[in-house]
Amino acid sequence: MVSRPAAARPVPRRKRPIQLASLRGFEAAARLLSFTLAADELALTQSSISRQIGALERQVGKQLFVRKTRALELTAAGERLQRAVQQALAAIDRSVDEIRGVGLPPRISLTTYASFASQWLVPRLAAFQREHPQIEIRIDAADRFIDLRKEGVDVAIRWCSPERTPLPTDAIELLREYVTPAVSSRLIERTRVTLNTPADLFKLPLLEMDESAPSSIASSWQRWFDFAGVPPQSPAGGRMTFSFIDQAVQAAIRGQGAVMGRSPLIEDSVAAGDLTTPFPQLKMQTGYHYYLVVNPDSARLPHVATFTQWLLEEFRRGPMRLT
């Protein structure tokens, strides 16, 4: 009987690896849509980035960018690779930071907009740091929406209109913004104006926000007067326009005019007696909400969980009353 030779085992097909050195350059170019800007960010030359991208395209076997005269666009393959590379690099960077940070104080990075940081958040952080002196807080108040995973930021407090701004499904609504006029006793004493009806506010200087932003229109004096049923007219004391709400609030506290106060930014000043709201029953919703968003990669960290729980409790507590 002739024995048959044993069947050869199939040789597993070897996957084609790619060189990882070019992924940093690709991620920067895909995010900035510019080889030049990517080169500046990574301290390389534009030709180096171009060579890296060319080599990566040859290894992948697909074109990753559409190169136009003065523009750069991602192809479908480029968009798919960008998503994978951004998540992978963010995970690697975070792991390296955690390894390097062994023995160092835990740190929380938070992004929000500048007026909220100065008017509401920063005054409260002293109490948090007294309770948790081992936790460091880093605040990015650059008035921009960022990808938390991509930039390695732990927590975001968003102020936005949910109808116009996409939010992650796990975003937590903190409050719905309303506006109502606020004045200081200094202003009333100086002008001797009695505020019996909303129309009496026209006897005072009105502090307004620059209407270039949609949020300013939603919380404008004109919209509130319409809400209160008051016909428009020119204020006897004139108008003063600001770019940032915290500047307008401070001007109101100094007695320079009446401000259209936004929650929660004026609530501490009202609780402290620096401002009063003459028509508290006339609170107008602006359509803007505050949301808490936590980076999924950070949510499991104990110090981040401690901080987010503290934030939730502070929003539930309401105005901060100094003693």
The region of weakest confidence among 13-27, 140-154, 293-307, 309-323 is 13-27
Q: What is the pLDDT of residue 165?
A: 85
Share of the chain above pLDDT 70, in %: 91
User: Distance between CA atoms of 323 and 320, rounded to whole angstroms?
Assistant: 10
What is the arithmetic mean of pLDDT over 45-72? 90
Contacts of 40 (CB under 8 A, 6+ apart): none
What tens digit of pLDDT does each residue of 258-303 get?
999 999 999 999 999 999 999 999 999 999 999 999 998 888 889 9
| Per-residue confidence band for 103, with pLDDT thresholds at 50, 70 and 90 | low
β-bridge mates for residue 285, sequence order = 178
User: Distance between CA atoms of 265 and 251, rounded to whole angstroms?
Assistant: 14
For residue 8, is pLDDT > 60?
A: no
For residue 214, is pLDDT > 80?
A: no
- Do 52 and 59 contact (CB within 8 A), yes or no? no
Q: What is the pLDDT of residue 142?
A: 76
Which residue would you say has higher pLDDT here, 41 or 103? Answer: 41
What tens digit of pLDDT does each residue of 116-150 get?
999 999 999 999 999 999 999 999 887 778 888 87
Question: pTM higher than 0.75, yes or no?
Answer: no
Domains of the chain from N-terminus onward: 20-100 (1.10.10.10), 106-323 (3.40.190.290)
Per the listing, tokens 């030779």 go with 5
What tens digit of pLDDT does each residue of 159-211 get?
999 888 888 889 999 999 999 999 999 999 999 999 999 999 999 999 999 87
- Do 62 and 69 contact (CB within 8 A), yes or no? no
DSSP string covering 207-244? EEE-TTSHHHHHT-HHHHHHHHT------TT-EEEESS
User: Distance between CA atoms of 62 and 78, rounded to whole angstroms?
Assistant: 8
Q: What is the pLDDT of residue 123?
A: 92
What is the arithmetic mean of pLDDT over 58-86? 90
What is the arithmetic mean of pLDDT over 99-126? 85
C-beta atoms surrounding 284 within 10 Å: 17
Q: What is the pLDDT of residue 323?
A: 42
Q: What is the pLDDT of residue 141?
A: 86
User: Distance between CA atoms of 86 and 113, rounded to whole angstroms?
Assistant: 24
User: Distance between CA atoms of 248 and 313, rounded to whole angstroms?
Assistant: 28
For residue 17, is pLDDT > 90?
A: no
Map 309-323 to HEC letters: HHHHHHHHHCCCCCC
C-beta atoms surrounding 238 within 10 Å: 10
β-bridge mates for residue 202, sequence order = none
What is the arithmetic mean of pLDDT over 209-214? 78
Q: What is the pLDDT of residue 102?
A: 58
| Per-residue confidence band for 225, with pLDDT thresholds at 50, 70 and 90 | very high
CA dihedral 140, 130, 253, 144 (to 10 degrees): 10
Q: What is the mean pLDDT of the chain?
A: 88
Q: What is the pLDDT of residue 4?
A: 55
